[in-house]
Amino acid sequence: MTSDGHALTRLRRALERGSADQIRAIVAELPRPPGLEDALAICLALLDREPETYPRAAAKWASRFAIERRLTLTESQLVLAALGSLPGESARAGAEALIELAQRSPGVPFVFGLSGVWYPVDV
């Protein structure tokens, strides 16, 4: 396994039970930015563990998602609105909207992981 593989394994473990500082330290070791799926998991981990940093992380992830998946302006606005709703009472609707938007985008394997990562699968 490459050092990149080891770092990704440690990142995924840290996402499950590590602190925000541990997650950031592991991300800094990666030779390239994490994929969209891992980046979203990092964003959601920050929402849980360090909510004051979540808005910036969410905006960064939404920008990257919009660029990499060639979203329209309207789709990009919807992604931002969905991410913005996650900290509040509309979290479930926001998560469902993200899943819907991701399913419209080609080559997005992480939509199935979102439910298991952040909110109960029985949605």
- Whether the per-residue pLDDT at 100 is higher than 90: the answer is no
Phi-psi region of 18 (alpha: psi -120 to 50; beta: other; left: phi over 0): beta
- Tens digit of each residue's pLDDT (9 = 90 or more) over 39-91: 999 999 999 999 999 999 999 999 999 999 899 999 999 999 999 999 989 88
pLDDT on residue 49: 93
- Whether the per-residue pLDDT at 22 is higher than 50: the answer is yes
DSSP string, 21-38: HHHHHHHHHSSSPPPHHH
